[in-house]
Structure 1
Amino acid sequence: MLCGFASLEEVFRTEFGAVLQCSNKNCYWLEFAGDCTPFKVTDFLHLRRKIEEINLSELLFDPSPRADFTIIMPFRSQRCFVLSVSDVLNLKELMQGAKFMMELPGIIKDCLKAAPTSPLIIG
């Protein structure tokens, strides 16, 4: 359940979930698999790296029953994610989109610094 005092801004959304940013509490909310989970910024970044590190090829080609699900227990969270291969794909997509949107302002700023400052000639 989202906090009533939270001021949430959507970072990225897919049909399977969303990443929201709360400026009031300086945290991120992960909406996935029917639940919303808050994360401190460093904990969210750690979770994002853990999701990025999941090797899909290994999951797909491993014949053992343990490869059917991946268990992720985020740091300082009461939530445990038990993910099927399709859940991993959906969560990876969500996290990659959120990562891009989080890095986009810095990329734009770098591009604007590198842009030549020649005078605009209209004529």
Structure 2
Amino acid sequence: MGTAANTLVEIFRTEFGAVYQCNRYDVYWVEFAGGFSSFKFSDFFYLKQRVEAIDVVEMAQNPARVADVVVLNPLCSDRCFVLTLTDVLHFRELLQGAKVMIELNSIINESLHGMMV
């Protein structure tokens, strides 16, 4: 994370990872599965959509060994996520929580800005 570490604000954390916002570089940092990855705003939400689109019911019910793991190569990222069913559920929780906090922060800022006008 280099010099950006001093500018990170934690948005959401679970016992399995965290999401940080870096206003200096206008990116989100995702800490998950032992690594850190940065994503621009749109790429972060695309990653969330990709994780949400994973069919966890199919993963759980399919007896084939290849159904046990999902590999995600997010846009504009040098990181590849190799996720088990449990990892997918933990990653979803992290990304969903971060999205809620981002939206809440936006609502609060809009409300405060409206009060100042």
Partner of 1:60: 60
Q: Which amino acid aligns with 2:105?
A: P
Partner of 1:30: 30
Answer yes or no: is 1:5 the counterpart of 2:4. yes
Give 1:71 deviation, angstroms.
0.5
Which stretch shifts more, 54-63 or 9-18?
54-63
Structure 1 unaligned blocks of 5 or more: 113-123
Cα distance in 2, alignment partners of residues 8 and 81 from structure 1: 22
Higher helix share: 2
Partner of 2:115: none
Q: Which amino acid aligns with 2:81?
A: F
Cα distance in 2, alignment partners of residues 21 and 55 from structure 1: 28
Q: Say if 2:4 and 2:22, in contact at 8 Å, map to a contact too.
A: no
Deviations 1:38-85 (CA, angstroms, capped at 9, x unpaired): 111111111011111112111101111111000100001110000011
Partner of 1:41: 41
Partner of 1:80: 80
Give 1:110 deviation, angstroms.
8.1
Q: Which amino acid aligns with 2:37?
A: T
Structure 2 unaligned blocks of 5 or more: 113-117
Deviations 1:2-21 (CA, angstroms, capped at 9, x unpaired): 12134100010000000000
Identity, % of aligned pairs?
47
Point out 4+ residue stretches in structure 1 off by more than 2 angstroms.
105-112
Change (3 A) 1:110 1:26: closer
